[in-house]
Amino acid sequence: MLMKIPFGTMSIPQKSKELIGEILNSNRVSSGRYVREFEKKFARLTGTKEAVALSSGTDADALALAVLYDFGAKRGDEVIVPALSFVATGNAVLQAGFKPVFVDIDRKTLNIDPSRIEGVITEKTRAIMPVHLMGKPADMDAINKTAMKYKLYVIEDAAEAHGAVYKGRNIGTLGDMAAYSLYVAHIISTIEGGIVTTNREDFAEILRSLRSHGRACKCEKCVMNINSGYCSKRFKYGGADIRFIFERIGYSCKMNEIEAAVGLGNLDIYEQILGKRRKNLISMMKKFKKFSPYLATIEEGPDEKIGPHAFPMIIQEGAAFTRNQLVDFIEKKGIDTRDLFSSMPTQCPGFAFLNYKMGDFPEAEYIGNHGIHIGVHQDIGDEHIDYFIDVIVKFLDKYA
């Protein structure tokens, strides 16, 4: 019997629906008190002092980087990123005005290879942006050691790493800032949306300015439309209205109240969602081991917890079948798949102007040609996992 296993799902709890009704009836749908409430609760969840909500995970990456201009960075400076990631990582570096410098990955972890980072550092390097791909923590000890040696900032791309833990510490607390995606398929979702976490109040103030065109008016109450009364700071610029003074080149990427309402509902059931997805991921990783040496996936180390975003599969060297054959077979059985991203500098034509050439990032390119991933979301149960494993058995019986 054919069973449908979609890649993602969307939880919109009753609390969110009630809040959305209140927001629509109030006619105040732009960023306001519900966005601020979501920020505070997200910060508590990750264990950081500050969280600044934005309109997408890509904006979260870009604005976290743009903060660095207030601390000496110049346009055209360099940011080190892994070659393998969703293209948003590289796009955000460019959108922030920096040049991405790519580093190959470790094929077993899918994350940046720390041993290769030092070799690409130049006098123009300002930051390292590791990606916790598929929710698996990057080697943050090694990355932070290199960053400290060269006085570089570390910004975690934690887009897929909700709930991930590295050596007893939450992902999102291991660098200067962390950027999360809150897209529909993620553990905590606001439909679209992103958020930056940090322990530095000055970074958070700049982020609030950046998301609103670079405004000088950036205290928590004013920028969230919480306080419509008199503000003693309003005319501190010698008579000019602080709301229309722009201190820096900014963006327009605020989260709205309706998105925050969905996020608040998801935060209320976060532990439930996380637990279900982790159960699914651990079960799939355990049952998938028998498909070696044809197929492999990531493994969870003793000092980490993988954030259960999705389940990656990599066709191993020497296998007698192609990725297209695998995808075609399991999609016809109702299992929704996605490619496991690409080597941004060599397999994404948009980055061709940087003049990298095929073969520069062999590990990332291998994943780009041989990797896929499927969902582990909260609407999947044991019966779906058993069905998936049975489909892979049938595929290997035919092709291997």
The catalytic residues are 186
Give dist(CA 110, CA 132) in Å, integer. Answer: 8
Characterize the bridge pairing of strands 177-181 and 125-128: unpaired
Rounded to whole angstroms, what are the CA distances from 77 to 18, 126, 351? Answer: 46, 7, 17
Task: Considering only the C-alpha atoms of the chain, give the largest distance between any 2 of them, rounded to a whole number of Å.
Answer: 78
Rounded to whole angstroms, what are the CA distances from 65 to 38, 72, 81, 284? Answer: 22, 12, 12, 36
Which residues neighbour 9 within 8 Å (Cβ) at sequence distance 6 or greater? 185, 375, 377, 378, 379
In sequence order, the β-bridge partners of residue 157 are 131, 179
Rounded to whole angstroms, what are the CA distances from 256 to 195, 216, 354? Answer: 13, 20, 36
Q: How far is CA 249 from the centre of its chain?
A: 24
Instruction: Decide: helix, strand or coil at residue 319.
Output: coil
∠ Cα 343 123 101 (to 5°): 5
Cα end-to-end distance, the chain, whole Å: 23
